[in-house]
Amino acid sequence: MTQHVKSTSATFDTGELDRRGPEVAGPLPAGPARSRLSWFMLAVGLIAALALPWIIYPPVAMDIAAWALFAISVDLLLGYTGLLSFGHAAFWGSSSYVTGLIAIHWGLPFPLAILGGMLFAMAIAVPIGYLSVRRTGIYFAMVTLAFAQMVYFVANQLSDLTGGENGLQAIPRSFFGIDSVENDSFTFYYAAIALILLGTWAAWRIVHSPFGRVLVAIRDNPARARALGYDVDRYKIIVFVLSAGLAGLAGGVFAISHGFTSLQELEWTTSGKVVLITVLGGIGTLWGGPLGAAIVVTLEDKLTSSGFEGTGIILGSIFVVIVLLFRHGIWGTVADLLHRRTDPRPNPGE
Amino acid sequence: MSAFVQYTVQGLAAGGFYALAALGLAVIFGVLGVVNFSHGACYMLGAVAAAVLLDVLHVHFWVALAVVPILLFLVGVLMERLLIRWLLRLDPLYNFLLTFGLSLILVDVVKRRYGVSGLPYERPAGLDGQLHLGGIGLPTYSVFVCLLSLVVCGLVWVLLTKTRVGMIVRASTEDADRTRALGINVGRWVTPVFGFGIALAGLAGVMAAPFRAITADMGGNFVIILFAVVVIGGLGSILGAVVAGFLVGLVEAYGQAYAPTFAQVAIFVLMAGVVLFRPAGLFGRDESA
């Protein structure tokens, strides 16, 4: 009977996998209750962002803000377009280098240096996005991961420019000669948070625009979006580049805040960490990113300062638990509960 | 000419590791639809296990070659039973993330126990010298790695295409429901197949032990190259995984020899070319999306 089994046919069917998508948190309660809740949350979010450096050490507060925007950039792809980028460190890290180089060699004020870094991240996102959107689902994650590793190797090779293993040291924090911003991390926080909030606002605008609605349509049913006449790949490339820009903005702020950057910011573990933050907070919400960033950055800070060297054990365990039990993340779980309280109908998504 | 042959053997040896591990990745993906991010960590566990067995129990390389894959098989069975299983019905991204979390844990556990500096492992007697073939000196161990990985890949090929078990495994990947309708318990094969894939990664790890620096981080870059390998070969394809594994090994070796600056980048350029011109991979089926 074996002659019926062609020996060249040890190929597995992979088509079905593209049809499923990541679970996204349920929508918030509809109607006036929703809009009241949105404004309330917006106010809480703003107050939290402004009060943060009073509560915790300002450089750590800055880290939380930068990682929050970084996570939002990942959520723009994962939560709103259904694409898991496992290579976003390429944009965060390369922007941190370009920001640092501009600040060191040209001495420009830091917002301009960050703008340069951000533009660079968007520029390299064009070819990476163009190639990566040819695959969907799990393939997209693998391809973006591989391209990010390529960026890492290139940065490692260009050691004359990037400092190789040593990274970029002594990045100045120039800001129009205003001494308190340049030298005091508390005041600097308020100068830099403006950039982070600007990026967050941009993400909010993208999500709530007609463009954003098309993205969600692509996430939920790519074939239907295509049938309706939308150029799906084009939309994906555009949102990929926009997302890279936000990741670049966050990476630039991070580099200026720390005064140095290293290859670690380009490593695949950084890509993994931002995905962890996004999933922990809850995807498809925009609020999940800041929440996840606050938890993970604070936890890491506490673990490092207590001398514990197994951060990966803790972060990995969180990842495993979240993926197994709380796939909607913290924000999503809370939103689901609210949803259940205000709407007694069973949620068909569950 | 002799230098070229040496680079080729070196490339085929490096490719042997990729081919074996990518084969494990492809088998697991085929049957479970899971892309196992912890494959690099399992490769690392294989190498560390070989080193620890040698150091503590004086288990010889040849014995480790058989024992470590069995140990890793058990690790794989545990992973599948306790964790992977619960997410099989969901989007494969979740198991990708789960195994990523697992590999963070495994790497840091090994790092805490054995430190960040490499564990020593001597090349086994009989495989440490040079082999002279037609006036060209070749490191015996590299030749051994090439041959052994080819033999193992061949055995897996025979297992999948010529035996009843292989037929069941392939049938359940083609169409699990219809296979069930024919009276075959598909669920029974999920756990052993996962364990088998992990065991292949472990085997690659043991073979790498006398050849590479054994550190907790050795699997990190390895697994990313593996992803590039399966993207090049076509994720669902067994043949693709093996051919692309050796191909990537050769590209890496020639790169290191003739253009060391771009050696590591070359692999990803190759992958970019495949994604551009043949998105389904060299041996993959076209997606009819």
Cβ-defined contact of A11 to B98 (cutoff 8 Å): no
Contact list in B for residue A150 (CB cut-off 8 A) is 264-265, 268-269
Contact list in B for residue A269 (CB cut-off 8 A) is 104, 220
Indicate if the pLDDT at residue A205 is higher than 60. Answer: yes
B74 in contact with A, Cβ within 8 Å: no
B112 in contact with A, Cβ within 8 Å: yes
In a domain, residue B240? The reply is no
- Between residues A346 and A160, the one the model is more confident about: A160
Q: Given the structure tokens 């065991």, which residue do they identify? A: B199
> How much is the pLDDT for A148?
93
> How much is the pLDDT for A15?
39
H or E stretch covering B130: strand B130-133
CA–CA separation, A173 vs A290, rounded Å? Answer: 25
Contact list in B for residue A139 (CB cut-off 8 A) is 231, 235
In a domain, residue B156? The reply is yes
CA–CA separation, B281 vs B136, rounded Å? Answer: 35
> How much is the pLDDT for A18?
40
**Residue A343 — very low, low, confident or very high, per pLDDT cuts 50/70/90?**
low
Q: How far is CA B46 from CA A32, A216, A261, B144, B265, in A?
A: 59, 43, 34, 18, 27
Q: Which of residues 177-216 of B touch A (CB under 8 A)?
A: none
Nearest Cβ partner for A146 among B105, B109, B268 = B268
> How much is the pLDDT for A1?
32
pLDDT per residue as tens digits for the range A43-96: 888 888 888 888 888 889 999 999 999 999 999 999 899 899 999 999 999 999
> How much is the pLDDT for A21?
61
What is the SS3 string spanning A152-180? Answer: HHHHHHCHHHHCHHHCECCCCCCCCCCHH
> How much is the pLDDT for A342?
61
Indicate if the pLDDT at residue B289 is higher than 60. Answer: no
**Residue A32 — very low, low, confident or very high, per pLDDT cuts 50/70/90?**
low
Q: A223 near A18, Cβ under 8 Å?
A: no
CA–CA separation, B36 vs B84, rounded Å? Answer: 10
Contact list in B for residue A316 (CB cut-off 8 A) is 100-105, 108
Please give the angle made by the CA atoms of A99, A102 and A103, to the nearest 5 degrees.
85
Indicate if the pLDDT at residue A230 is higher than 60. Answer: yes
Contact list in A for residue B85 (CB cut-off 8 A) is none
CA–CA separation, B280 vs A83, rounded Å? Answer: 18
> How much is the pLDDT for A163?
82
**Residue A16 — very low, low, confident or very high, per pLDDT cuts 50/70/90?**
very low
Q: What's the whole-number mean pLDDT along residues A325-334?
A: 85
**Residue B285 — very low, low, confident or very high, per pLDDT cuts 50/70/90?**
low
Can you tell me the ipTM of this complex? Answer: 0.87
B264 in contact with A, Cβ within 8 Å: yes
- The single-letter code of the amino acid at A339 is H
pLDDT per residue as tens digits for the range A109-158: 889 999 999 999 999 999 999 999 988 888 899 899 999 999 999 998 88
pLDDT per residue as tens digits for the range B129-149: 777 777 777 888 888 888 999
Strands (E), A133-242: none
> How much is the pLDDT for A341?
64
CB atoms under 10 Å from CB of A165, counted, come to 9
Which phi and psi angles does B184 have, rounded to 5°?
Answer: -105, 135
DSSP-derived letter for residue B136 is E
> How much is the pLDDT for A92?
96
Q: What's the whole-number mean pLDDT along residues A202-220?
A: 90
Q: How far is CA A303 from CA A284, A310, B93, B110, B242, in A?
A: 29, 8, 28, 18, 42
pLDDT per residue as tens digits for the range B196-248: 999 999 999 999 888 888 888 888 889 999 999 998 988 778 888 899 999 99
Contact list in B for residue A310 (CB cut-off 8 A) is 108-109, 111-112
Indicate if the pLDDT at residue B31 is higher than 50. Answer: yes
In a domain, residue B191? The reply is yes
In a domain, residue B246? The reply is no
| A276: CB partners within 8 A, 6+ apart | A292, A296, A315, A318, A319, A322, B101
Indicate if the pLDDT at residue B286 is higher than 80. Answer: no
Cβ-defined contact of B261 to A157 (cutoff 8 Å): yes
Nearest CA in chain B to A135: B279
pLDDT per residue as tens digits for the range B62-90: 888 899 999 999 999 999 999 988 888 88
Annotate B30-87 with DSSP letters as a single string: HHH----TTHHHHHHHHHHHHHHHHHHH---HHHHHHHHHHHHHHHHHHHHHHTGGGG
Indicate if the pLDDT at residue A9 is higher than 50. Answer: no
Q: Give the tokens for residue A158.
A: 């260009």
CA–CA separation, A255 vs B282, rounded Å? Answer: 40
> How much is the pLDDT for A69?
95
> How much is the pLDDT for A349?
41
Q: What's the whole-number mean pLDDT along residues A16-44?
A: 62
CA–CA separation, B110 vs A58, rounded Å? Answer: 34
Q: Given the structure tokens 């590479």, which residue do they identify? A: B212
CA–CA separation, A226 vs A209, rounded Å? Answer: 19
The total domain count for chain B is 1
- For chain B, the straight-line distance linking the first and the last C-alpha, in angstroms and rounded, comes to 47
H or E stretch covering A131: helix A110-132
In a domain, residue B255? The reply is no
Q: B68 near B74, Cβ under 8 Å?
A: no
In a domain, residue B190? The reply is yes
In a domain, residue B178? The reply is yes
- Between residues A51 and A97, the one the model is more confident about: A97
In terms of residue numbers, what domain contains B128?
17-219
Q: How many alpha carbons lie under 13 Å from residue B188 in its C-beta half-sphere?
A: 7
**Which residue, A290, A285, A281, is CA-closest to A319?**
A281
B28 in contact with A, Cβ within 8 Å: no
pLDDT per residue as tens digits for the range A231-242: 999 999 999 999
B238 in contact with A, Cβ within 8 Å: yes
CA–CA separation, B203 vs B70, rounded Å? Answer: 9
Helix, coil or strand: residue B237 = strand
**Residue A22 — very low, low, confident or very high, per pLDDT cuts 50/70/90?**
low
B3 in contact with A, Cβ within 8 Å: no
Nearest Cβ partner for B275 among A134, A136, A268 = A134
CA–CA separation, B255 vs B257, rounded Å? Answer: 5
In a domain, residue B97? The reply is yes
| A110: CB partners within 8 A, 6+ apart | A99, A103, A173, A174, A175, A191, A192, A256
> How much is the pLDDT for A33?
60
H or E stretch covering A209: none
pLDDT per residue as tens digits for the range A239-268: 999 999 999 999 999 999 998 899 999 999
pTM score of the predicted model: 0.88
Domains of chain A: 56-342 (1.10.3470)
